[in-house]
């Protein structure tokens, strides 16, 4: 599945459309996406930071796209997720790189890292598990 097909598949999911992200890059074992901040993404209006729930949802969406692309599964089912918030995701563009860490017959583990201008300073890191049926 190429970038355009994966983007079209993601946009069929109403919540993914609400988030409003764009897939930038698709590799054999990873997907990179970006999210330009809009008013609905703000959690702290004083500093203009992304809402933590929106950040985690964006990370899960990109992890789901990585599973869909690599495992040919249209709607992977999340079974577990852990997100560590490392620093505030300030106003601007947010990037998430989701990479398949392990893929078994029934479960896939995906690591997602969210960053902004400097990829060496992530704002959040997450581990997601999806059921592959």
Residue 68 has pLDDT above 90, yes or no: no
Average pLDDT over residues 92-96: 96
Average pLDDT over residues 75-92: 93
pTM above 0.95, yes or no: no
Residue 74 has pLDDT above 80, yes or no: no
Q: Which long-range contacts (CB under 8 A, 24 or more apart) does 72-78 make?
A: 72/1, 73/130, 73/132, 73/133, 74/9, 76/108, 76/130, 76/131, 76/132, 77/130, 77/131, 77/133, 78/128, 78/129, 78/130, 78/131
Full set of structural domains in the chain with CATH:
3-131 (3.10.129.10)
Average pLDDT over residues 66-89: 86
Higher pLDDT, 31 or 68: 31
């Amino acid at each position: 599945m190429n970038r355009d097909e994966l983007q079209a598949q993601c946009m069929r999911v109403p919540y993914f459309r609400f988030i409003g992200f764009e897939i930038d890059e698709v590799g054999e074992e990873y997907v990179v996406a970006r999210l330009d901040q809009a008013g609905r993404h703000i959690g702290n209006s004083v500093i203009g930071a992304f809402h933590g729930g929106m950040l985690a949802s964006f990370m899960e969406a990109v992890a789901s796209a990585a599973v869909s692309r690599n495992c040919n599964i249209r709607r992977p089912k999340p079974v577990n997720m852990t997100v560590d918030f490392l620093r505030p995701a300030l106003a601007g563009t947010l990037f998430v790189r989701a990479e398949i860490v392990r893929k078994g017959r029934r479960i896939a583990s995906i690591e997602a890292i969210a960053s902004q201008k400097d990829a060496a300073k992530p704002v959040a890191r997450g581990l997601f598990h999806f059921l592959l049926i």
